[in-house]
Structure 1
């Protein structure tokens, strides 16, 4: 009995750990027929210290299955701060990830003080210097200035100077960026921030310096709406030059759970969260985007990559009705011998499989949403999508 109890406890613990991690995200968009289609996705992987060690970006529309498009990999020091971040792009010809950029971080007393960005040189298969960013910290352990450099082939040349202004609550009110013109630092861009009574960011304005009129011109503005728990429920991005709203993002949450209870990719990786805002207090479920569709976060499984390339021509097989409420019929005009049918969710997780009676699929018990259906004939397959009403 003790062995059974111990076994069940281990299984429960493993399951609980899996559920306490944000593992993937899927972004969908509406096509011309007003049907939701997969667009992009991401898989997140963590180490034993709950640090994000890889974020793999995926694309869907080009191959009708999930394929790698790029990957960020992270290594950490003993203080769980990122030392190296390598970004790689996927080469569809060689089917391999290829180096693109690398960031090397240096810390002093636990604070990041230098980042060197390098680009991959394919001609000699080595990393080449590109940019260097430095930060200085004040007595309150907050960053207050920075210098950014470009590599000119032999040395670091000054490019941008950053001055940070904080209020009495150690919140950023402005970031001033000046560019080096060869002799002097001159105004370039400015970021102005305002907060509510709870010291939460509510407005972020970006301005560019107008040399002709010698004044600042606001170019973009982002407004934040927060709920009583401090979650950002909406972000509205406005082009200030013509006062048009370019994009609105609305978040949804599970307010019964705290985001800090879940291992997630939003955690501060290098100690610079001070420069941005973490919008999620409660468990974030996803968001809708007025321009790009909807994104859903998945805490139970990762996205499954497509591996099989051979596909049956869509003209020979079709599924109907679409949308479907109870049963989905597979019409096989070319009399392919269908060996099995698999229905999966948008992340690629198998929901049901049929190896018999493959001309009709019972979808009555499926939750509402979009699904993928695959019909296999030997090594070939037919792939389509359907909506469950």
Structure 2
């Protein structure tokens, strides 16, 4: 039995596929890891882990996840495994995928992804390989190359596939983009590869024009027909005085000479720029006809309180169809969502779905239950339960469905996540580095304090794939409110020479 000298090991048991099927997971997909599983903590489980965590103590142990299928709560069968390798900046450099061979009772490799980064930490190259079991070697399948500007905007993106006959990479598509000083798209041109001429050929072009407030004013889509021909445009008109805007979509007619109205959206905003009304129209028989409408209200914290959806009927006018009410606790966490449908006959709202959400003291979601209204009562549908370790890392996740026969929550998928000892270096204050990054976990604003004198400070933040999320200079407080929840790596550079690295949780 291999001896383990690490506290936890990242073991992601399954991913997004199953989660998407349950709208109990209403938050960002990146917040969750799907888990087909039940594998209980026991000798069999530890033994299984030890088969691929046999590295020496001083070597880096790759992060790994395994997915499981099962027939009952005590019968689990491995399905797939992925092992990740990282560079010195904790960016993924390789990911190896394995399938479980039931008869052989062993893992068989089938896919590999490799990643390379530019000098700024942007993902520059990703290559996918398939394992050739006969030739016993990796064979290329797809490749993606990207180039960025100094702000991290993607200037060009190339996509290739491996051609076995030519024994070489062959172009599939590429996109070239340009940006304004405000890092907004100004133009995107897409190309496809012509295998006859072995050249890139223009396909589509998108142009973006903004007003003085940097709001998108005109978007135009072109097709290449020996020259660029506009085929679709979106016009945005803003009335900042009355807090309204109109988005009109037009398409070119068959003669490619005249613009024809297609769809239109009208928006109304409150003083905090929250959308309080949205109306959708279609151009039918030479006039705009109302189709759908949404109305919304917010509390003093700009949190959505009520959203009501309407359908337009020619005789009756606007008819309510769906309403969602949101409830928040004293810490402003959304703890309840009530979905109702409009009963036209009774002229009242009927219960439809109910979501109950719980958070721990650090604001991390620990439970979300979905109920449906059946025969005058709420009946369980699905549930997500999560728990975290002492430093805020997700360590357990369970997906359940309601069992009508036993009237209890029945496990469907489970995840147990483990983290290596290296990950425990995550802390608010590192006396060796003499740099403090706090709070960690962070919710709104991240603060940086260095106990030593310095001239310049650069802060860079990356997701687990190595994509740069934030780059700032000479700021000791950083706004991370718009960053999705998850795990991140950061690099702090003092005076362009002293580099400090760490990890944080949002």
TM-score scaled by length of structure 1: 0.44
Rg (Cα) greater in structure:
2
Higher relative contact order (CA 8 A, sep 6+): 1
